[in-house]
Structure 1
């Protein structure tokens, strides 16, 4: 198996890095191929690593279990073509649980069906834990679980057992209130015991012993409703406002089952990290920023509390809670050994003697390493995309600027080597409310930079990463202030001699596709062309078509973020304003997209046709909300390259 060859011999930490080398520009297919692995997990005893290994065409992902003593690879589980292994969890030293998954194209990552299966390390004894299995003739399917299951806690004190959240599927009416249950499950036998149940859809969080201590449901405005148990034996009661004014998430509870670490938001500010006394209902702030949210928390080993937080909505920053702690010093040492990159701890053995960590950066899609703390040795487990070399990729730098109304915004600038203003592609992110662009490897940006273009990404108001207030400031501003923010960023890049004002194009996917077409409508003087990819082009159509409106919460969301003023929706819809689009346009769409269906593409292309304006198009058969097949993604890149060369060629 190919991953056996990638398990390298142990090497001294100081020798892990090699000097960067120059390389020829990667091909479009190089940027389009899927990573070597899509998930990874270290066994509690450190003897095995489980890997989710995609096929070359990405149409299947199998579970492989690798023995770290070099005894080979076991293909432990597969679900067949068009199915994928995801969410790997070790429930004991020799027992692993996975979810059956499908692919999410825009991220090219599997996401769970809500079905769980377990296997021993040899792949011989397997068990279906949760699934809906149809009857087959005279045989009755063992499982009839009409819902979505996910592991929420591994019970270290009961090897092989886990806690599973099981939430019923929505009914045909789209009602929101569906039963959520918590089960204790024996992953070897499939036996289960119900511990909690609520008639409302809920999220539960647990103390060290596995007792549910925080429950989050939603009100009719989709705001969180918090309940907790001050003591393990207490009944549920509302979380007092002085403890959490708006939202709260338990991240870790110490073995005393009372001292907790929680992410808490009181109003509109970014969430802060607090140490909480559950019994007393008191808290002490440990970390947080008024400007940007905590993006990740790092933990002190297998069963330890947080020791650091990471911010990445602006410049990526690590804040250690106690810089003198062993884990902080270990992490800081690894950062020094991998200069210019970030290091994230992934998993640990139960005795904390081995640590699985990942190294990643703007020119590194990611690589997994295993650290033996006793021997002070590191071995490379796998590079995600070893065919891409840092020397052939471009640097990405965080930027910030002030908008016309005095708001500080953050973004990224990726460009090939050399000084001076460059032909530029403005790349708005999708979402738009919640997602944001952060420093790291971005295949779209890197592909464009490899072809000689600078890439500008702006986290306009409404983006995530800066708290509830900032996100909501973009509500009902899709075609308004959010577009102003992008344009202000472009003007900042022009003023700072980063972007050639005569050679700027827009390109985006999903909401980014909407922004890519709205920019030349609102700011025709800035752009020479526009590329929309699986984009939203008609806001009235968005309220009628696509999977968001299928549920009541989705319909409420659309009303909140778009508004209900039909005149405004028309004014902010590219498909209804094609007479204002004076630049060449290229549109790409997946034929089976459920999130942004063909009706959006058809609305815009039909409007151009009625006006007699020719545009370039690409409709990919059997592709959804973002192209997944490597060859289709490569064709898209090649079409984009030719389009840009024609209209803003460098």
Structure 2
């Protein structure tokens, strides 16, 4: 299995297929010139089965000629020395549209000590020539003006707190960023052509990010948009290097706000939204002259399609449907929900089902648990379950992203307590609102969701009829020990100390493997034997503990798979096993409501 890149000339329909190595994948495609592309070498992300960058960059022209490694490690071949010896992670930080072929690359060394620095290179993607333009002594994140000069820098102190600096003027020295501009974080910065006006997402403390227009010389800012409960998730831009005309929100009900409703771009976007009712519209690319706009449409029932809009002729041309064999009209509606947890906090989530009335329900917790969150949109697992007659409940519990750091931190050290309380309260809300058949509820999830699938029946005896743990973590002390033995960074270990805790006795008390005797429901466990994230030993100890207690447990272990299944045959088999398992315990053959 591999990913190929297809470049099609729309005027003629002729295509060029590109390969970047046998059994290789690519992602993160950038046009650095009208006839030049840069891609990231990628591996399949198991839980989503899509390519994600592995930190190596390749360059090619549109005719699949002159392909070369831009950043990466090329081993020596007998007497021929490999061209590149980059031991690190590289990513395109910015394409310099006014200088065709030129781009900025952010590079972090893999083996340069515990806290390797970040280096920014100015790179000619046509020739491979590179020049270092910025270097930090430790990990750093940079944001650039339109000329490619780093103007904002974020580093982190010994307590992992952000430290912000900026260049007030082009070519100036780094200075501490004034609190009048941003107190804690500044990101998604877009400079206006004057090099002084900046549009960015900002936080002053731990609140959800708000959108601001910033005057660097004056050291002032003007709020453009924001919500007290939900962070601004991003900007929509007016052309290739244009300023924002709208902001988006996605941690609750999907929404957008036009910050410049009189902009021709806002009017274009609003017109496209009206032309595609029930869909969100995202601008994803622009021609250099701004005349052609690449946009996507997507929804809860449709993975989406890509179109080109010609601003001169006002014509729309469809490019491709993402998965045309999936028919939106046969999919279930995903409904944003909101409830109040037992502590009085507002919790958001999603409920997906076909039709009305109480249904057998699957409670599906997202992974993470911290910083990750479920969004409105097409979800393969959710739609599969809904197609089999089940309702699906997703809860963005305390600790989830999209609502600011305070909300995220409110879930820290709450794997088996606060987070689970929110999920439980969501189930009770669904039952009270006659959305779930209380006699037919099961849990299912991957990674942290797999942990949830087994801890929920322990914490709520009688609420569930079954649980499905997929590449889950079931023994928290074992996880802490495994992480240390695998040599993860000190920064990551500090994060685990803060968010999970260091009291091994307390962690054992909220570990399903330690409380297997309390699991009174049938369990299905699925795991990849090569899993290095939720170590395969997690599966082994959980299965053994259940069997030792005489519990009903079905297992699906796959050789060659890691933290989730990538091979389509394995994914299909997993779906078949989920369907059979759920059908046995909460499907049509299960006990009816009230029994």
Query: So what's the TM-score if we normalise by structure 2?
Result: 0.97
Q: Which residue of 1 aligns with 2:75?
A: 134
Residues 408-427 of structure 1 aligned to structure 2 (within 5 Å)? 408-417=346-355, 419-427=356-364
Tell me which of 1, 4, 9 is aligned to 1:67: 9
Q: Which residue number corresponds to residue 598 of structure 1?
A: 536
After superposition, give the CA deviation of every residue in 1:360-410 in whole Å (9 maximum; x if it has no partner). 001101111111111111111111111000121111110111111111111
2:90 to 124, 139, 149: 149
Query: Counterparts in 2 of 1:21-100, with a 5 A limit?
Result: 59-81=1-23, 83-100=24-41
1:452 corresponds to: 389
Deviation of the 1:549 alpha carbon: 5.8
The RMSD of aligned alpha carbons is 1.3
Specify the alignment match of 1:535 in structure 2: 472
Among 318, 334, 355, the residue aligned to 1:396? 334
**In the alignment, what sits opposite 1:489?**
426
Aligned to 1:307: 245
Cα shift at 1:145: 1.1
CA-CA distance at 1:127 after TM superposition: 2.7
* Partner in structure 2 of residue 114 of structure 1: 55
Q: 1:240 deviation in Å?
A: 2.0
Q: Secondary structure at the match of 1:540?
A: helix
Give 2:345's aligned residue: 407
- The equivalent residue for 2:440 is 503
Q: For residues 74 and 561 of structure 1, what CA distance do their matches in structure 2 show?
A: 48
> Is 399-408 or 278-287 further displaced after alignment?
278-287
Counterpart pick for 2:302 among 364, 367, 370: 364
- C-alpha separation in 2, matches of 1:544 and 1:630: 33
Larger RCO of the pair (alpha carbons < 8 Å, separation 6+): 1
- Looking at structure 2, the residues matched to 592 and 463 of structure 1 have their Cα atoms a distance apart, in angstroms, of 28
Over residues 514-537 of structure 1, what are the superposed CA-to-partner deviations in whole Å (9 max), with x where a residue is unaligned?
Answer: 111110011112111111000110
Distance 1:549 1:603 in 2: 22
Q: Partners of 2:58 and 2:468 in 1: how far apart?
A: 42
| Alpha-carbon distance in 2 for matches of 1:217, 1:108 | 32
CA distance in 2, matches of 1:176, 1:68: 49
Length-normalised TM-score, structure 1: 0.89
Q: Which deviates the most, 487-496 or 60-69? A: 60-69
Q: Deviations over 1:138-178 (max 9, x none)?
A: 1111111111111111112221111111111145xxx4421
Tell me if the contact between 1:272 and 1:285 (Cα under 8 Å) persists in the aligned partners.
yes
2-structure distance, mates of 1:198, 1:438 = 35
Contact 1:263–1:271, Cα closer than 8 Å, also in 2:
yes
Q: How does 1:338-377 map to 2 (within 5 A)?
A: 338-377=276-315
Measured after TM superposition, the shift of residue 242 of structure 1 is 2.5
Deviation per CA, 1:7-40: give whole Å up to 9, x if none.
xxxxxxxxxxxxxxxxxxxxxxxxxxxxxxxxxx
> Following the alignment from structure 2 to structure 1, what is the Cα–Cα distance between the partners of residues 67 and 440?
58
CA contact (8 A) 1:230 1:280 kept: no
The answer to whether the Cα contact below 8 Å between 1:546 and 1:596 also exists between their aligned partners in 2 is no
> Is 2:88–2:107's contact at 8 Å kept on the other side of the alignment?
yes
CA deviation map 1:565-590 (0-9, x unaligned): 22210111001001111011101001
- Identify unmatched segments of 5+ residues in structure 1: 1-58
Secondary structure at 2:481's aligned position in 1? coil
Unaligned runs of 5+ in 2: 589-595
**Equivalent residue, structure 2, for 1:434:** 371
- Count the aligned residue pairs: 587
